[in-house]
Structure 1
Amino acid sequence: MFKEELATMKRLGVRHVLTQALNFAMVLSTALMMWKGLSIVCNTESPVVVVLSESMEPAIQRGDLLFLTMPRTAPLKHGDITVYKVPGSPIPIVHRVIETHDEKNSTEQWILTKGDNNRVDDVGLYNGMKYLRRSHIVGKVQAYVPYVGYGTILMNDYPKLKYALLAVLGGGILLQRE
């Protein structure tokens, strides 16, 4: 079967293979442009995230896909579900705001968070800080779709699955004859 595909590619010529590679590059660049556009509209570096742990159960489950925005001026308030990233930690965390403090004569806001399924607040996760700054907040959860993120979790847990899927998709695009 693979030999037949190679023979077909030779028959169609280099021009066809380059056209397919260009189509693949266009699909990839379109996806990246859409992501960047959504990031600008939502005012956040990551407008879509997947929940990786059970710390927010029962409100939000592992594998849920979250849609985020970052309010430009409105302060975060008690009860908001946020995604934050602490300097030095590669993985963003999804937890609820349990306490806020606003600095007088400043736009700075100090935030304390906690997972709904956790017994204690997140101070232990803050790498020595007592509160988060608003600049640590990636976004505020606006909506979610349950279970859609399990594909991402599987690919993170099993990297070989991710590479196999990318190889199949890339090969399919390069080998298609249209």
Structure 2
Amino acid sequence: MSDDGRQPDDPLSRFLHGETGALVFVREVLTSVLAVALVGLLLFAVSGVWPPMVAVESGSMEPHMERGDLVFITEPDRFTPEFAHGDTGIVTYETGAAEAYTTFGEPGSVIVYHPPGSGGSPIIHRARFHVQEGENWVDRANPDYLPATSCEGVPACPAPYDGFITKGDANAEYDQVSGIAPVVKSEWVHGVARVRVPYLGYVRLVFSEAVLVQIDGGADGVVPAVGGERVSVTGSERTTTTGVVGSASPTLATGSAHGTPTATA
């Protein structure tokens, strides 16, 4: 304020203190963008991945994750217990059951992964157990999720390489049996699910047109109806929208897992 009590008339002062006109609108927009950017940077600092949130597109992880949930994810090696598998940061269902370690209602880690060249959204499913190249893993598996009792009658058996066997909590078979995904290599894992917020992911799904995907009784365009939970990852080149926190992703909430990005579960 000047000595005579009037507001300075320079452009910066008019922008900062104006109460009418277009400058007010521009100032409010810039303030909102800055706030969103700061929230995004904070989430990235905590999670270590971008986007840090995913929106769930389908029901293969029910009842622990449902369509429209927004799921916060982190790098696999953040906040991981000492009994995670090797240096992957991932706790399998098998190990989680032995160590009384549960996430989202059942033992083990729920991971967001995307096999290279598979197209579509990432998948958000539970890591059931880890296999080694050449391993006959049928004896370690739950027979209820297999089409046969011997390795010869089970896809991806013996294991073609080291990786994880995965499954949606609501699905009838392992992903590697139903054709949703091959054995999941650790380098394909984008993140580990930590927190879910119901309903917030629907905004992201609307913008990505994921709400048009029909899951029950048919395919969702990427995997069969028994397949993975889809998520979209905001900010990911694999999605159709640009990701900012508040863009209603996670799908990874600023991000796609079969969770913003969008991800298939």
Residue 111 of structure 2 contacts residue 125 of structure 2 at CA under 8 Å; is this kept in 1? yes
Structure with bigger RCO (C-alpha 8 Å, 6+ apart)? 2
- Which residue of structure 2 aligns with residue 122 of structure 1? 175
Q: CA deviation at 1:56?
A: 0.7
Matched, 1:140 2:192: yes
CA change 1:86–1:74 in 2 (3 A) is closer
Contact 1:55 1:117 in 2 (8 A): yes
Question: 1:30, CA displacement in angstroms?
Answer: 3.2
Deviations along 1:21-50, one digit per CA (max 9) or x if unpaired, are 243134224313421331232122222111
| Counterpart among 50, 57, 68 of residue 52 in structure 1 | 57
Which amino acid in 1 is paired with 2:169? Answer: D
Structure 2 partner of 1:37: 42
The amino acid that maps onto 2:129 is E
Instruction: Give the aligned residue type for 2:205.
Output: I
Say whether 1:156 aligns with 2:211: no
Structure having the larger proportion of residues in helix: 1
2:129 matched to which residue of 1?
99
Deviations 1:42-100 (A, max 9, x none): 12222211111011112211111111112325631223111112323241211111121
Identity rate of aligned residues, in percent? 29
Q: Distance in 1 between matches of 2:192 and 2:32?
A: 29
CA contact (8 A) 1:77 1:100 kept: no
* 1:77 corresponds to: 91
Higher percent of residues as strand = 1
Distance 1:44 1:101, change over 3 A: farther
**Under a length normalisation based on structure 1, what TM-score does the superposition of the two structures give?**
0.64
Shift of 1:19: 4.9
CA distance, structure 1, for counterparts of residue 166 and residue 74 of structure 2: 18
- Matched residue of 1:116: which SS? coil
Local SS of the residue matching 1:132: coil
Q: Indicate the SS of the match to 1:38.
A: helix
Please list every run of 5 or more consecutive structure 1 residues that lacks an aligned counterpart in the other structure: 1-14, 104-108, 160-178
Query: Which runs of 5 or more residues in structure 2 are unaligned?
Result: 1-19, 78-86, 94-108, 134-161, 212-265
1:118 deviation in Å? Answer: 1.7
